[in-house]
Structure 1
């Protein structure tokens, strides 16, 4: 029984060595790694700026809507609703085009 296990283990080790010899990953050059890293950092920075801008716009819109509700100004509320009706589809179309283009930054959980 031990002889079979040892034989199987030796065969398994030889097979694993064959697999390791066949697969040798290509090691990228240093300048390519640095270029990739710099591109990623640049895209991440642009995405951060875009998200920060959108956050401030959303916060401003919420603050404005609260002010409109507090002071009960219906014409302003109607204007905001009309502008939202026009601009939201434009924003959605632009975001879907950007997504399809693949201009997003992948997050690694940071």
Structure 2
């Protein structure tokens, strides 16, 4: 019986110590509402980043198209060179950008 009393006393002391540690740590519990807010802000950031990249892409495409049209009227050989380079380099750039996101879709 004496051994059993010692064990129960030790368990009681350990339990009290554990509760004291929990009280000191004060681990804040994240509510489901806070998780949804964080998820919403993350999605909003991703959407803004996507729009920014899309606008940059469109502006670059318009600039390149204007440059390309100007070159068409001046030199046919340059146009052919640009088309070949675009056909070779375009897929490589696409693979690089999709791998950066972690998903490759072909």
- Assess same fold via TM > 0.5: yes
Q: 2:60 aligns with which of 52, 57, 62?
A: 57
Displacement after TM superposition at 1:95 (Å): 4.5
**CA distance in 2: counterparts of 1:99 and 1:51, whole angstroms:** 19
When structure 1 is superposed on structure 2, of 37-46 and 50-59 the one drifting more is 50-59
Pick one of 39, 52, 61 that aligns with 2:42: 39
Point out which structure has higher relative CO (alpha carbons under 8 A, 6+ apart). Answer: 1
> Which residue number in structure 2 is paired with residue 88 of structure 1?
90
CA distance, structure 2, for counterparts of residue 94 and residue 80 of structure 1: 20
Secondary structure at 2:103 match in 1: helix
Structure 1: runs of 5 or more not aligned? 1-27, 102-110
The count of corresponding residues between Structure 1 and Structure 2 is 73
Task: Kindly name which structure, 1 or 2, has the bigger radius of gyration based on alpha carbons.
Answer: 2
Q: 1:50 Cα deviation (Å)?
A: 1.1
* Structure 2 counterpart SS, 1:92: helix
| 1:77 Cα deviation from its structure 2 partner | 1.9
What are the ranges of 5 or more consecutive residues in structure 2 without an aligned counterpart?
Answer: 1-30
- The Cα shift of 1:62 comes to 1.2
Which TM-score applies when normalising by structure 1? 0.54
Q: Does 1:66 align with 2:69?
A: yes
